[in-house]
Amino acid sequence: MKRFVLVLIFGSLLTGIACNRQSSEEKIANLNGYWEIQNAKLPEGIEKEFNYSELVDYIQVKDNKGLRKKVRPQLGGGFISSEDQENLTVKVENDSINLYYTTPYTSYKETLLSSEEDKIKILNPRGIIYTYKRFTPYSTDYGQEN
C-alpha cells in the first residue's frame, strides 16, 4: 500500500511538472507588450538594479516576425514613440528561442532565457542577462501612442 501511495504521489509530481512547461509558441506570445527593465546581470556576476526607467520596450511579434522599439510612457496613459525601431525575427533553434534584430545600421542576436506572463529574461551577445517586468501603466489610457 505504501508503494502505491508513493507511486501515486511521484506520478502526480511528474504530471504537474510536465503541465507547467510552456510551448515555444506560448513563450514567444508572452513577448508581446510593454516591458520595463528590472535588472541586468553581467557575466562577472555584477548585478545592476533599475528602480526607474523613463523608457519602456514595446515588443510585437506575429508569425515569428515583429518589432521592438523604445517608447516613453506619459502620465496621462499614452506613449511617445520615435520612428526608430528594430525589426525582429524569432527562431527556435537547438531548443533555444533566438531573437534576431536588424536596423539600417546593425544586426544582432539575443536568446530568450525565460518567458512568463509578467517577466522575461534575455541574454545579449555580450553575455549580459536582462530581466524585464511587464510595464504597469500610469493611467487607464494604457496602450495609446501619441
Whether the pLDDT of residue 131 is over 80: the answer is yes
Residues 26-55: what's their mean pLDDT? 95
pLDDT above 80 for 69: yes
CB-based contacts of 47, cutoff 8 Å, min separation 6: 39, 40, 41
Domain 23-134 class in CATH = mainly beta
Nearest-5° Cα angle at 55, 128 to 34? 85
Q: Report CA dihedral (91, 100, 31, 142) to the nearest 10 degrees.
A: -150
Average pLDDT, stretch 27-46? 96
Backbone angles phi, psi at 136, to 5 degrees: -95, 120
Task: Give the residue, 83 or 131, on which the prediction is more confident.
Answer: 131
Give the other-Cβ count within 10 Å of 59's Cβ: 19
| Cell numbers standing for residue 44 | 562577472
Q: Are strands 33-41 and 107-115 parallel, antiparallel or unpaired?
A: unpaired
Q: Which residue ranges make up each domain of the chain? A: 23-134
**Burial of residue 16 (number of CB atoms within 10 Å: 0-12, 13-18, 19+):** exposed
State the average pLDDT over residues 68-84.
89
User: By percentage, how much of the chain surpasses pLDDT 70?
Assistant: 81
